[in-house]
């Protein structure tokens, strides 16, 4: 009878271990904000994944970047003898890099590509109405002033397992966020332009997904089973 009970308990323990290994991954999330007026590069420092002397197995690394741009001003002033029309873009761009870890996915592509948070708008300016060169006059009908509104871009991806090594340890690693002012009006001849830069902000998020090593789970489970058997062999007595 005792053998049957022990066998049943052992089977239950093995099932529990298998279920835990298969479906009970845990996560560690780090979120570090950044902000500034382009052009700039900010260094963000993240903690490595500590596998606790090999008792935890890293199974995934997701990197996410949120990028926002707002404010600033773009002035276009047509000093040409004829009208000018086109499309302008105004905002900022951002990219991610690191001197310490590899930010590539399984296809050897950046986990987060270049981000663009800018406004796009069609414009039409009349021929110069008499203002002089280099006065950057935004007055209509041959000029315009665009005041920047909030724009956002977002990127996310998973680091390839082949690159997990540099992310693992008890130390830290740096990730650089580079932001640059962006404006474009097609390079139309005769148009003067001036810019007050935007303000940018956002956050970089790194999420580690991990599971306990099978050996660790087994030791914990069998240890609990052993304690149960000892208690059955030596029941507590009362005075």
Give the 3-state DSSP-derived string for the chain, with helices as H, strands as E and coil as C. CHHHHHHHHHHHHHHHHHHHHHHCCEEEEEEEEEEECCCEEEEEEEECECCCCCCEEEEEEEEEEEEEEECCEEEEEECCCCCEEEEEEEEEEEEEECCCCCCECCCCCECCCCEEEEEEEEEEECCCCCCCCCCCCCCCCCEEEEECCCEEEEEEEECCHHHHHHHECCCEEEEEEEEEEEEECCCCCCEEEEEECCEEEEEEEEEEEEEECHHHHHHHHHHHHHHHHHHHHCCCCCC
Q: What is the pLDDT of residues 108-131, one digit of tens each?
A: 999 999 999 999 999 999 999 988
Check whether 77 has a pLDDT greater than 60.
Answer: yes
Rg (CA), the chain: 30
pLDDT for the residue numbered 213: 78
Cα distances from 120 to residues 32, 48, 116, 183, 203, in angstroms, run 29, 40, 11, 10, 24
| Model confidence band, residue 17 (pLDDT cutoffs 50, 70, 90) | very low
Q: What is the pLDDT of residues 179-236, one digit of tens each?
A: 999 999 999 999 999 999 999 999 999 999 999 976 544 444 444 445 444 555 555 4
pLDDT for the residue numbered 210: 98
pLDDT for the residue numbered 44: 98
Cα distances from 110 to residues 105, 141, 202, in angstroms, run 6, 44, 19
Check whether 7 has a pLDDT greater than 70.
Answer: no
63: left (phi over 0), alpha (psi -120 to 50) or beta: beta
| Model confidence band, residue 166 (pLDDT cutoffs 50, 70, 90) | very high
pTM above 0.85, yes or no: no
Check whether 11 has a pLDDT greater than 50.
Answer: no
Instruction: State mean pLDDT over 51-71.
Output: 98
230 or 96, which is more confident = 96
- Mean per-residue pLDDT of the chain: 87
């Amino acid at each position: 009878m005792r053998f049957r009970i022990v066998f049943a308990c052992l089977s239950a323990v093995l099932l529990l271990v298998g279920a835990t290994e298969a479906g009970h991954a845990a996560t560690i999330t780090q979120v570090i904000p950044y902000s500034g007026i382009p052009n700039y590069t900010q260094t963000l420092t993240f903690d490595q994944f500590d596998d606790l002397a090999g008792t935890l197995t890293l199974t995934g690394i997701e990197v996410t970047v949120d990028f926002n741009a707002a404010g600033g001003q773009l002035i276009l002033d047509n000093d040409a003898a004829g009208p000018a029309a086109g499309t302008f873009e105004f905002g900022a761009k951002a990219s991610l890099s690191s001197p310490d870890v590899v930010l590539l996915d399984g296809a050897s592509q950046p986990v987060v590509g270049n981000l663009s948070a800018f406004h796009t708008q069609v414009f039409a300016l009349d021929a110069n109405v008499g203002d002089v060169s280099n006065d950057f006059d935004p007055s209509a009908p041959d000029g315009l002033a665009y005041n920047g509104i909030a724009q956002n871009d977002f990127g996310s991806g998973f680091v390839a397992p082949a690159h997990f090594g540099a992310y693992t340890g008890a130390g830290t690693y740096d990730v650089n966020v580079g932001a640059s002012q962006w404006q474009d009006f097609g390079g139309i001849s005769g148009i003067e332009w001036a810019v007050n830069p935007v303000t940018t902000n956002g956050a970089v998020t790194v999420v580690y997904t991990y599971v306990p090593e099978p050996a660790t789970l087994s030791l914990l489970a069998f240890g609990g089973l052993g304690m149960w058997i000892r208690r059955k062999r030596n029941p507590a007595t009362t005075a």
